[in-house]
Each structure stands twice: as structure tokens, then as C-alpha cells.
Structure 1
Amino acid sequence: MPKFAANLSMMFTDSPFLDRFARAAAAGFDAVEFLFPYDYTPAEITGAARAAGVKVVLFNTVPGDWAKGERGLAALPGREEEFLEGVRKAIDYATAAGCPRIHAMAGLVPEGADRALMGRVYRDNLAKAAALAAAASLDVVIEPINTRDIPGFFLNRTEEAAAVIADVGAPNLKIQFDIYHRQIMQGDLARAIADHLPLIGHMQLADNPGRHEPGTGEINYPFLFGEIDRLGFDGFIGCEYKPKGETEAGLDWFAPYRS
């Protein structure tokens, strides 16, 4: 049966962040993910998760200046040391919380940038990040993101992510397969999951259009969950969607999988 993680950056947002762990547990989730923990101490994150009895299974490394529109540093020339410092910080948080993986966001392509140079920087940075993470028994994941939600994002297609992983050659570097982003960019969801399953370390979901909960759009999630189960994927699927109303009111789709 598929395993789901509530995304606390998008769900239960009418509660303070640290209170969302308990709400996720009360809704039946065993695990949580979120964008960033860095407004809180590792002890606060770990304490909230343990008190609620949920696992932390994913969050992002430091993305640069999020408020100013930055969306990651991994592919940005000249920001290499800042990226690696952010990876080290993420590892500290992950180790404290028992989180097994961190997501390294590629970043935006500056106007007039040399994409080939960015590709070399990206691979070199990911190799170093994977080595740092491996020393802490963690995985690093990379996520292709659609060009509509984040125009100019460096990594957009599943096959691009697979090629980067092949070039880097680190066994703990994997794909964060976001069903919503893949549907917008390429579709062919079930085949893409089957073809890339050995490289997929984490999944995420939302329906399309609107990025709301399953059952609100065009994606046949009951079929897809059955295929994911049949293929034997044993990782978590993060619920990175914007609830149409109160989070709990939109969890009918989750009822068959609730703890």
C-alpha cells in the first residue's frame, strides 16, 4: 500500500507550523515533509515530530534568498560554497530529526547564462553534496519542476534528472518524482514511474489543474496508486498540494490509506 507524507508547508496552514505535526498525525499521517525547517532550531523540529509520533521524510536544502525569488543554488556558478554550506546545515537538521533525505533545488537560469557551465556546476555540486550526505547515511534527491509554476527553473524533465544522476554516479543521488510537475511537462505518468523506478527516492503529488488534492482534476490517482503499489515502490509520496478548503475536509481521497 502506498505510504503518504503530509506536506506541512502546504497543508494545515491555518495552524502555526509546529502545531501542524500533531494535526497531520490526527488526520492519520505517519510521516511529514516540508519546504524548509530553518526558521526553527533542530531541537524544535525534532521535538514537534516526536511529540506527534510522525517521521520527517523530506525537506529542502537552503535555497538562497527565497523571499527575493531564489529557488535553489545547486546549478548557480559562483554560489558553490554557499550551496555546500546550505547542504551541511540541512544535514545537521536531518540528522537531528532522523530524516533520511534532503532535496537540493537546482535554481533558476539567469538571463544570458551559459547552461553548459551551469550543468557542470550542478553535477560537481551534487557530487559533493552526495558525498557529504553519504557520510551521514542520507540521500540527496533532485526534482524536475514544471516551467509554468517556476519559470526558468534549471531542471524540468525526468530524463534530464536521470542523466545527471548517471553522470554523477553517486548511489545516494536519486529522483524526487513529482507527479504534478511531470503531468504538466510530459504526462505518461505510469510509464515514467515504471521506467525510472530504480532511481526514484521520493514522490510527490497534487492534481492538475489547480495543484489541489487528488480527485479535483485530471489525474486518475486511484489507478496511479495501484500502479505504484504494483511496482513495489516502498518510499513515501509527499502530499504537496494546496487544499481547496480546510485540509481535513479534503482528505476523502486519503481514507483508504489512513493509518
Structure 2
Amino acid sequence: MSHTLGHTVNCSLLFTELPVNERPQAARDAGFHAVEFWWPWETATPPQDEIDTFVTAIDTAGVRLTGLNFFAGQLPGPDRGVLSHPDRAAEFRANIDLVVQIAERTGATGFNALYGRRQDGADPAEQDRIALENTLAAAEAVAAVDGTVLIEPISGADDYPLKTAADGLAFVEQAHKAGAGNVAFLADFFHLAVNGDDLAQVVRDHAAEFGHIQIADAPGRGEPGSGELPLERLLSDSRARGYNGPVGLEYKPTVPSAESFGWMR
């Protein structure tokens, strides 16, 4: 199905009725050639055999892994990332090695480092310093696989400090000034819309800088057409203004996953 070219299926929100390692094949059966995942394990450093099984599932399905989250704590749930958590820096650093290993074996190049919420008792400036240090370490490591560290504003957590495109782009700019050119903004149109950004303007001003796009409709985070966002126009405008990467389908389908792609036809 040619309509699936340019799209990558987020198998941490789609096909969740199946075990993780069966989802790549389900995406392929639905006509897709690429998938992305949040970190599929509850720990930063799962056993090697579990990593092997995951990589094999992607290989066997004949899909490409385009993107993977760094370890993000409990997701969905209380953490929303650990990039900025001083007491979890060792976990994050240990996770980098496994992300690079998976990248070497799959060809993945986009790696989302979720910032994490503000922590009670932690100095916000110290959290921001830790986040930048961890980002620079991650960027240096994934450079070996031609990878990019992605920085994503998200909604639904008031104590998550990156909410708007301006917030995310400012942190990316800090990383660039510190010498990490392979850090880029992840534009999740659902989260940005919910947080009040003018998506048309964000696309107009910054599409060429996007490291990745993810989509879901708003309100509701369902498939395109289930809400009110002009996603088709936003995507065509993003392409016209220089974005040439895949588009991550990161929505919660309102129907069984395999039936949620009618909007593409």
C-alpha cells in the first residue's frame, strides 16, 4: 500500500492489544514499512535476550525501526522521562549504550529523550543542567550511528517544563551552543495544540528545523479525523517548508488499530 510510505507506526500506542514483539508484524500486515517505539522495557537496562528478541521481531516483520525513546521511567505514568532527574542520571547514561546497540542493529536514527517532570526538592536550575549534560552525552553516543536526539514538549503534566514549541526549541538551541549539532525538536502536533501553540505558525516558522513529527488529533489523541486539527494541511505545509522525515502515527485509536488507517486513503 503506497499510502503508507513516509509514515512510521508508533507501536507503543498502536496495536497495544498485542504483545510488544508481535506489533511490528501487525504494522507490516497493515501495509506499513516502518515502526517506532517508546522504550519497550520497564528498566533502563533489560536483559540482553529481551533486546535480542525485540530486534529479531523487527527484522522478521521486515519493517524498519525509525525511532526509539531513551528510557523514560514509567511511561505513561508518573515520570514522563528522566533526562532532567539528578538521581536517575546513572540509569539514563547506562541506557544510552543499549539504545546505540539497538540502533546499530536496526538502523534507527531518531531517539526521543523525554525531559521529565520537575522534582520536589530539586533545584530547577540543577535539573536543567543535568538535562543538558545528559543530552550532550546522548548526542555524542548516537552520532556514531548518524542519530539525532529529539526533544519533545508534552501536555498533560503541569510540572513538565517543556510545553510549547518555544520551550523545546530553546533547549535545542542550548544543546547546539554546547556543541551538539545532532539534537533536534520533536514536533508532536497533538501535544503542541493542547498546550495552546498556533500549529500553523510553528510549522511556518520552524518546519525545516523539525527533527521528527508525530501526529494525533485533538481533542482526544485519536486518529486523524477523530478531532479538529487540520493535520493533512499541517503535514503538507511542513513538507513544503523543508521537513523531509517520516511522520510518526502516535495516536490512541478509537477503533481497533488495524481499522484506524481509513483517514489515509
Fold similarity call, TM over 0.5: yes
Q: What amino acid maps onto 1:234 in structure 2?
A: N
What is the DSSP-based 3-state SS (H/G/I as helix, E as strand, rest coil) of the residue aligned with 1:78? helix
Choose the corresponding residue for 2:256, options 220, 226, 246.
246
The separation in 2 between residues aligned to 1:78 and 1:13, in whole angstroms, is 31
Deviations 1:182-223 (A, max 9, x none): 101123112202322233111101011111000010101222
Choose the corresponding residue for 2:167, options 160, 171, 178.
160
Question: CA, structure 1 residues 68+7, in 2 after alignment: closer, same or farther (shift >3 Å)?
Answer: closer
Contact 1:42 1:96 in 2 (8 A): no
Between 238-247 and 63-72, the greater mean CA deviation after superposition: 63-72
1:3 paired to 2:3: no
Partner of 2:139: 130
Give % identity.
31
The separation in 2 between residues aligned to 1:31 and 1:211, in whole angstroms, is 21
Q: What amino acid maps onto 1:246 in structure 2?
A: P
1:97 paired to 2:100: no
The separation in 2 between residues aligned to 1:161 and 1:75, in whole angstroms, is 14
Consecutive unaligned residues in structure 1, runs of 5 or more: none
Consecutive unaligned residues in structure 2, runs of 5 or more: none
1:121 paired to 2:130: yes
Q: What amino acid maps onto 1:160 in structure 2?
A: D
Higher RCO structure, 1 or 2 (CA under 8 Å, sep 6+): 1
Report the Cα offset of residue 102 of structure 1.
Answer: 1.2
Partner of 2:20: 17
Report the Cα offset of residue 67 of structure 1.
Answer: 8.2
Following superposition of structure 1 onto structure 2, how do residues 21-36 of structure 1 map, counting pairs within 5 Å?
21-36=24-39
Report the Cα offset of residue 96 of structure 1.
Answer: 1.7
**Hey, which bits of structure 1, 4+ residues long, moved more than 6 A?**
none
Deviations 1:16-66 (A, max 9, x none): 222211121121212111112336733222222222221111111112355
Following superposition of structure 1 onto structure 2, how do residues 1-259 of structure 1 map, counting pairs within 5 Å?
3-38=6-41, 41-66=50-75, 69-146=78-155, 148=156, 150-169=157-176, 170-255=180-265
The separation in 2 between residues aligned to 1:167 and 1:246, in whole angstroms, is 41
The separation in 1 between residues aligned to 2:75 and 2:239, in whole angstroms, is 35
The separation in 1 between residues aligned to 2:203 and 2:235, in whole angstroms, is 11
Equivalent residue pairs, number: 253
Q: What amino acid maps onto 2:212 in structure 1?
A: H
The separation in 2 between residues aligned to 1:128 and 1:13, in whole angstroms, is 32
What is the DSSP-based 3-state SS (H/G/I as helix, E as strand, rest coil) of the residue aligned with 2:111? strand
TM-score (norm 2): 0.88
C-alpha RMSD over aligned residues: 2.0
TM-score (norm 1): 0.90
Report the Cα offset of residue 106 of structure 1.
Answer: 0.8
Q: What amino acid maps onto 1:7 in structure 2?
A: N
